[in-house]
Chains A and B, each alone.
Chain A
Amino acid sequence: DSGVTQTPKHLITATGQRVTLRCSPRSGDLSVYWYQQSLDQGLQFLIQYYNGEERAKGNILERFSAQQFPDLHSELNLSSLELGDSALYFCASSVSGKKGNTIYFGEGSWLTVV
């Protein structure tokens, strides 16, 4: 158990809908990361937050947004969902968000868009 908690574990929704994935980082970690793992692509970095502020942005679509709240939990919002958004979404956390920090992954949220 990495200490990173993600909910929900599984989610099925229809095209065009909007969903929110939630993540609680390990106790003491200030930085949160979101990743997408789809069938046809490897693990893709989406976005990183540190202490409530966006620190880095990767391959995140405009239909997706995220935030990190004062209590350090984070949410990833996915809107106008398409079939291709079906994937495993990981949240991860690290102590200070520096590139040399160990990054701890949650168990992921499986999203299926039908």
Chain B
Amino acid sequence: ILNVEQSPQSLHVQEGDSTNFTCSFPSSNFYALHWYRWETAKSPEALFVMTLNGDEKKKGRISATLNTKEGYSYLYIKGSQPEDSATYLCAFFSDNNNDMRFGAGTRLTVKP
């Protein structure tokens, strides 16, 4: 069983705060890690696809890093805004099958 863990489960921050959360995954047989942003009543929106150890990706105020040797990825949001409120999901692909395993997500609430 491929366990993908995300922490924290939920997070409440004030507008303007910077925040980060973690996705942990098996360090063996890594192929790719995907990050998604999922707003209530909408579909998950792809943020990043990360495949290389040491990868850093950025999209506006959101960035992510990847450490495949120790099996974790961090997602950072700089200067959080209320519109950043959403659940952030990570999903892991192993290199020995095509199964995609999702974490349970981190639910972020940004208060104005």
Contacts and interface: CB of A to CB of B under 8 A. Distances in A.
Do A and B share a complex? yes
Interface of A: 2, 4, 33, 42-45, 48, 55-56, 58, 90, 99-108
Interface residues of B, number: 24
B49 interface: yes
A107 B43 contact: yes
B24 to A, nearest CB: 14
Nearest to B46: A102
Contacts of B104: 42
A30 to B, nearest CB: 15
B102 A105 contact: no
A42 B103 contact: yes
9 contacts: A33-B100, A43-B102, A58-B99, A90-B44, A99-B93, A100-B32, A101-B49, A105-B45, A107-B43
Interface string B98-111: 11111111000000
Given A42-B104, A100-B51, A102-B46, A56 B32 contact: no
Contacts of A48: 98
Give the secondary structure class of A's interface.
Answer: loop
A13 B102 CA distance: 28
Given A104-B46, A107-B43, 17 more contacts: A2-B45, A42-B104, A43-B89, A45-B99, A45-B100, A48-B98, A56-B99, A99-B95, A100-B49, A100-B51, A101-B49, A102-B34, A102-B46, A102-B49, A105-B44, A105-B45, A107-B42
Contacts of A105: 36, 43-46
Nearest to B48: A102
Contacts of B36: 105
